[in-house]
Amino acid sequence: MPATPEAAGRYDIYRADGAGDVGTLVYALPSGFTRMNSEPLDVGSGSLIKWTDASALPGHAYRYLFLRRQERPGEEFLAYGPFAATSSAEAPEVAFVGQNFPNPVHGGRTTVAYGVPQSAGATVHTTLRFFDVRGRVVRTLVDGLVPPGRYQVSWDGKDDRGATAAPGVYFYEFAAGPTRLTRKALFLGP
């Protein structure tokens, strides 16, 4: 949807699981919504608002809310939504790996969404590994033949031996055939 002139600004995207009220006026953030982005989504007047939730589980229903950041005290609350959506289980056209959520990780699990492209054939060797800053493999979450589709996997903050990883910056690499994609995660500890 194109943004109106008064809607220009920087936005955060919030998500709630399951069905519920949509298209209602909201004057405060409804309960059950969690912020999905760390960097704001910049929206200019007349620009198209578009965002992809790579962490959505195939076939699950979600509600989304776009909330404008209040840059100055006293700025009015402005939110669009909630909008309803059901994610697709269809294989993506290109391989992808999403930013882990939540990030930073503190006291629990973090989830990484990834997609094996439809062009990969029946199956493709796929890996998803976490590395420390020295490049050593900390944890292998995926290593095998995977058919095209959208997936997600969780990391519990432990290494391959079952010991809790040290707090710090980690990198994770997703590989599907010749495609290699890397992202960064911040682990604050258990």
pLDDT tens for each residue of 89-116: 678 888 999 999 888 888 778 889 898 9
pLDDT of residue 1: 43
pLDDT of residue 189: 78
Average pLDDT in the chain: 83
Q: Say if residue 104 is preceded by a cis peptide, omega within 30 of 0.
A: yes
Count CB neighbours of 87 within 10 A: 17
pLDDT of residue 24: 67
**Block residue for tokens 């955060």:** 12
- The arithmetic mean of pLDDT across residues 126-132, rounded, is 96
163-180 in b/e burial notation, b at 16+ Cβ within 10 A?
Answer: eebeeeebebebbbeebe
pLDDT of residue 69: 82
Structural domains in the chain?
5-86 (no CATH), 96-187 (2.60.40.4070)
Q: Summarize pLDDT for 32-44 with one digit per residue, the tens.
A: 888 888 788 888 7
pLDDT of residue 182: 96
pTM: 0.58
